[in-house]
Amino acid sequence: MKRSLPLAAAALGTAAASAAAPATAVAVPARVAAAATKYKGANVSYRYGSLSVTITKAKNKIASISVSYVPDTPRSSQLESLAIPELSKEAMKLKGWNVHTISGVSATSIAFRQSLYSAMGHADLLKR
């Protein structure tokens, strides 16, 4: 999956004026994939559990990023009774990025960033 600098810039909170990447997955060509190496970042605990970021390095750049996430909130059924007729309920989904700006809070970002930097360090991708 082609996902290089636009994501990294966004994840690092720089919100740089990067060209919009197409909102479709692009298969990584076989010869690039063969040269790609995975680096796993530190497991970072935060409010909702812990996460670690794994990056794939190819051609001295981040080719893809994935996240492993372990929730520490027990999946309870306490909210199943939450039936308010006026509200609709659905599972949270991941939407592709195709936005001008982001509304959110930053606790998650910190853990993500720490693990991402750690993975970039392992991959020798941090600037010196």
Partner 1 sequence: MTAFPGSGPNSSQTPISLAPGGFIPTTRDGLRHLEHVMGVPVMFDICGDPLRGKAALEAAVDWLHWADATFSTYRSDSEISRLNRGELAIADLHPDVAAVLARCAELKEETDGYFDIEAPYHSGPGSGVPEAGRGGPGSVEPSGVVKGWAVARVVRILREGGVANFLVNASGDVYAAGHPDGGSAWRVGIQHPRLAAEVVLTLALRDASVATSGMQARGEHIADPFDARVPSGLLAVTITGEDIATADAYATAAFAMGAQRAAAWCAGLKGYEAALFCEDDTVLTTPGLTRLRV
Applying CB under 8 A, which residues contact partner 1? 1-3, 6-7, 10-11, 15, 17-26, 47-49, 51, 54, 64-71, 73, 75-80, 82, 84-113
Whether 47 and 107 have beta carbons less than 8 Å apart is answered as yes
Q: Measured from the CB atom, is 100 or 128 closer to partner 1?
A: 100
Shortest distance (Å) from residue 47 CB to partner 1: 5
Amino acid at 107: A
Whether 107 and 46 have beta carbons less than 8 Å apart is answered as yes
Token digits of residue 19: 């060209």
Query: How far apart are alpha carbons 118 and 112 in whole angstroms?
Result: 10
Shortest distance (Å) from residue 109 CB to partner 1: 4
Shortest distance (Å) from residue 19 CB to partner 1: 7
Q: Measured from the CB atom, is 4 or 128 closer to partner 1?
A: 4
Query: How far apart are alpha carbons 105 and 108 in whole angstroms?
Result: 8
